[in-house]
Amino acid sequence: MSASRIYTDQELMALLKAGNEMAYAIIYKRYWAVLYRHARRMLHDEQESEDVTQEVFFSLWNKSSTLHLETSLSAYLYKAVRNRVFDKLDRDKVKARYMSSLGKFIEEGEPQTDYLIRERQLKELIEQEITALPEAMRVVFDLSRNAHLSYQEIANTLNTTEGAVRNHMSRALKLLRSKLGPTIVIMMIFNRW
């Protein structure tokens, strides 16, 4: 594949389905900036917009071999960004409602049962976000959180380097922080949820 040749989106998608990394790189270079601006207009936050854009491209690569576009590549990518933004906004609303109700609980001393229900809902939200992590990150996060293994033990278990484990853990925490907020991630880590 010649880097100097101008490929159509259809040609790039055909190459991408075959696992061609150069096709992915060209798509990334062609669409990253416009998709980032699209997310930025909706989210008004640079980091969240970058995260959403990265998630869309990560998903495109992961689904590339089975992806069947019914529209143009650009329309698919714009819609994917829009849907991720809407999902993020919905999760933010759930977090805001939870934090608001938690604040009322603290102020008013609501019954223990209500607290337990909200705690369960928060745990479900956290577990949902952990399950949504890319597989390698999820496995490393799970071995650290549930099996209480050190990075070196995880590296030995997965037959990889400790640096790769640190990288997966760092990226997993960054994704969780962007989706759940730093306070909830800290609570999750220390409470071993």
Say what the pTM is.
0.49
Asked whether 16 and 64 are in contact (CB, 8 A), the reply is yes
My answer on whether 22 and 79 are in the same domain is yes
The CATH number that applies at residue 26 is 1.10.1740.10
Does residue 46 fall inside a structural domain?
A: yes
Q: How many structural domains is the chain composed of?
A: 2
Count of helix runs (H) and strand runs (E) in the chain: 9, 0
d(CA 76, CA 78): 6
pLDDT tens digits for range 72-95: 999 999 999 999 988 888 877 766
Residue 55: domain span: 1-86
Report the percentage of the chain scoring pLDDT > 90: 32
Range from 7-11, 114-118, 169-173 carrying the lowest mean pLDDT: 114-118
Does residue 78 fall inside a structural domain?
A: yes
54 DSSP assignment? H
d(CA 121, CA 127): 10
My answer on whether 20 and 76 are in the same domain is yes
My answer on whether 121 and 164 are in the same domain is yes
What single-letter amino acid sits at 57? F
My answer on whether 76 and 117 are in the same domain is no
Asked whether 133 and 175 are in contact (CB, 8 A), the reply is yes
Cβ burial of 16 (10 Å; 0-12, 13-18, 19+) is: buried
Tell me what the pLDDT averaged over the chain comes to.
81
My answer on whether 3 and 77 are in the same domain is yes
The CATH number that applies at residue 134 is 1.10.10.10
d(CA 32, CA 46): 14
Which of 26-35, 96-105, 135-144 is predicted most confidently?
A: 26-35
My answer on whether 123 and 70 are in the same domain is no
List of residues 6+ apart from 1 with CB closer than 8 A: 7, 15, 20, 22, 23
My answer on whether 134 and 72 are in the same domain is no
Does residue 103 fall inside a structural domain?
A: no
Does residue 30 fall inside a structural domain?
A: yes
